[in-house]
């Protein structure tokens, strides 16, 4: 079954979508009307963990995730989740961690297709020059998350 629920965060309203006990989406777009709006146990746990993250009391998440996409994208998503709290990686470093050091642009495309913001930490991936580049909900939100983690060491 599919369920969704809106979650108000420090970076605005995010919508969580659960499928069979796993998170499949966390982003700014409200799901289609044919999905039931239900605050499941998983979504309640996610709300708690996000609250703790924004309160600087959590560095990692313990939410089951169902990755979707190509095998390359899934490799990139897993590599993003392995970037430690408060650290960043370049697209080239992400590509290397995902299995192809020459695929920085493809790693950027995988970031663009990330369906699970914050938990799959595409906000920790930056340009080679250290510049902030693309983020689904805007560069201001990306900068906010990086600053939160930079000064939120617990």
Active site residue ranges: 122
Instruction: Kindly give the pairing relationship between strand 36-37 and strand 2-9.
Output: parallel
How is residue 68 written in tokens?
A: 């979707």
How is residue 54 written in tokens?
A: 């924004």
Nearest by Cα to 149 from 60, 20, 22: 60
Q: Which residues pair with 126 in a beta bridge?
A: 90
Torsion of CA 28, 30, 32, 37, to 10 degrees: 130
Largest CA distance in the chain: 43
How is residue 137 written in tokens?
A: 């909900």
């Amino acid at each position: 079954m599919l369920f969704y629920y809106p979650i108000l965060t420090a970076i605005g309203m995010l919508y969580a979508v659960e499928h069979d006990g796993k998170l499949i989406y966390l982003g700014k777009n409200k799901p289609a009307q044919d999905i039931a709006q239900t605050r499941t146990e998983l979504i309640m746990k996610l709300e708690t963990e996000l609250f703790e993250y924004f309160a600087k009391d959590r560095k990692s998440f313990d939410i089951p995730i169902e990755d979707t996409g190509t095998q390359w994208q899934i490799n990139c998503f897993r590599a993003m989740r392995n970037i430690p709290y408060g650290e960043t990686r370049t697209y080239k470093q992400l590509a290397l961690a995902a299995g192809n050091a020459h695929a920085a642009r493809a790693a950027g495309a995988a970031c663009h297709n990330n369906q699970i913001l914050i938990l799959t930490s595409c906000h920790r991936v930056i340009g080679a020059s250290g510049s902030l580049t693309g983020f689904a909900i805007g560069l201001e939100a990306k900068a906010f998350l990086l600053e939160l983690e930079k000064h939120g060491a617990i």
